[in-house]
Structure 1
Amino acid sequence: MTDEPFDDVYDDKFDLDDQVEIDGIDPADSRVLDEMVEGIDEEDVDVEGLIEAGVGYVSINRYEQAVEAFERAVKFEPENAEAWVNKGFAHAEMDEYDRAIGAYDEALRVEDEEFDVEALVNKAYAEYESHRGNPLETVERALEKDERSSEAWYNRAVFLNERGSHEDALRCIDNALSLGQRGPRALHEKARALEELGRYDEAEEIRETAREAEEEEIMSEAREGLEGEDSLSL
């Protein structure tokens, strides 16, 4: 089993920046969720606001509070697939894979096409990490719904490499890369397939490209950090 093969995919699960205050609400404030529902008629509860607060908690790694926010969202709007998917993600970040899978199943029950693929891809990841279900079958269901999902092709490549189907894994990872899959880990997964197929020179070239990508990521993060310091000093 590879070392955390999914990190590059799921790090980008939420589109977050360093600013976690949402519409004047700071999710770091422990009173936020209570203030959003107390004394308010059920039909007037801002479910989208609860989801945004949950995303804010995820951005500062407060996953228990994130789960609470998403739980409140689905309590008031049980057919909200976005809240269920996000709830599953927060559970997975705490290694609560059974609960994550349950949340993804709820999202799939809703049958919201906008979130079906995301739910299936994330469910496959949770199944893989928890050794439950059939992650390969789950990710293939995602590809049936959207054959242009780079995350699904990447995950399928990982699962196939694990099973020793390296030719098929190589084809899948090439599909993922051509569809815009980001991150050096995708390149490392391709190198892994090439090495298993005895194509060592090609594998080393890909590894070198992956190392360069990792260095660029480090430099980019450093630049962003410096820019952040500059903006705070103004």
Structure 2
Amino acid sequence: MTDHDPDDHAFSEGQGFDDPYEGFDLEPPEFEVDPDKVDPVDSRVVTDMLDRRNIPSDAVDPTQLLDVGLEYMHINRHEQAAETFERVAQYTEDDRIEQEAWTNKGAAHAELEEWDAAIGAYREALDFDEESEAQRASEDVSGATANSDHAATAETNLAYALWESGRSEQALEHAERAVEIDPRFAEAWYNRGFFLLERGLSEDALEAFDNAIRLGFRNADVLEEKARALEEEGEYDRAEELAEEVDEMREQAEQQLLE
């Protein structure tokens, strides 16, 4: 073994540091957060901000992401569906897709009986629609940027969520708006009839149920509510006939499930 003079070894000089030298640390990047709008203990905030920071919009296909959310709904993964629809709304630049995403997010929360969250999502869809209308008016632009079908769906679903939350007067108001937006939306007529009947307005409710049936929304629920309205109007024979038809429809549905 021989002794080596350390001065004989040529060490790599490397690339050195920039001047002035900026050190590094392991702290996360700083985000600009308005504490008046964001709860600092909300763990989802960082995730959402990282999404926007690290994933460019053109790397996301909102249409495909919307389909993913719908598939989650089909397999009853409603929490994942709600998160997916929120991502769609964040990334899309298409007004129609954004409104559909908020509406579907509300439906996902409704399936979880998270009524406040559902109401919030439906209001996002409708507020977005109102903003689009205002923008078109200010720019004197014709043509719809949002899909009236989604607006009508958001209104009628919002009505149901409000009713579940005990706000029946607001529920009827939004049910009325739904049929104003889309008079051919059969489910909106059914909901309008239901809320009218709840307030004791059986004659108006019957008209709404008949409209729903004429538009093809004829099922046991509609007929059962119509029978209840007929009873309120004193038309007991017609009510009994409908009640028998409802029983038959439900028996057939049960048999089909068994088969």
TM-score, length basis structure 1:
0.74
Between 1 and 2, higher relative CO (CA 8 Å, sep ≥ 6) is seen in 1
Question: Is 1:69 equivalent to 2:84 in the alignment?
Answer: yes
The whole-number CA distance in structure 2 between the counterparts of 1:138 and 1:106 is 14
Runs of 4+ in 1 over 4 A off after TM superposition: 37-40
Of residues 190, 214, 226, the one that matches 1:178 is 214
Deviating more after overlay: 74-83 vs 58-67: 74-83
**What are the residue-to-residue correspondences of 1:117-128 with 2, within 5 Å?**
117-128=152-163
Q: 39-48 vs 82-91, which deviates more?
A: 39-48
Counterparts of 2:126 and 2:213, CA distance in 1: 27
Residues 99-153 of structure 1: CA deviation (Å, up to 9, x unaligned)? 1111111111232124111111111111111123611111111111111211111
Deviation of residue 165 (structure 1)? Answer: 0.8
CA RMSD of aligned residues (A): 1.9
Code of the aligned partner of 1:134: Q
Q: 1:214 aligns with which of 240, 247, 250?
A: 250
- Please tell me whether residue 51 in structure 1 is matched to residue 66 in structure 2: yes
CA distance in 1, matches of 2:64, 2:118: 22
Paired with 2:163 and 2:149, the residues of 1 have a C-alpha distance of: 23
The one of 122, 128, 131 aligned to 1:104? 122
Contact 2:122/2:157 (CA < 8 Å) preserved in 1?
Answer: yes
Question: How far 1:222 sits from its partner (Å)?
Answer: 4.1
SS class of match (1:134): helix
Structure of greater Rg: 2
- Once the 2 structures are TM-superposed, how far is the Cα of residue 40 of structure 1 from its aligned partner? 5.0
Between the aligned residues of both structures, percent identity stands at 49
| Secondary structure at the counterpart of residue 182 of structure 1 | coil
- Deviation, 1:48, is 1.4
Distance 1:216 1:180 in 2: 19
Gaps of 5+ in 2: 1-50, 130-145
TM-score scaled to structure 2, two decimals? 0.68
- C-alpha displacement at 1:61, in angstroms? 1.1
Determine the structure 2 residue equivalent to 1:27: none
Q: Distance in 2 between matches of 1:114 and 1:174?
A: 21
Residue equivalent to 1:189: 225
Aligned length: 187
- The aligned counterpart of 2:102 is 84
CA-to-partner distance for each residue in 1:165-191, whole Å, 9 max, x for gaps? Answer: 111111111111111113201000001
The corresponding residue for 1:10 is none
1:64 is displaced (CA, Å) by 0.8
- Preserved contact between residue 149 and residue 182 of structure 2 (Cα < 8 Å): no
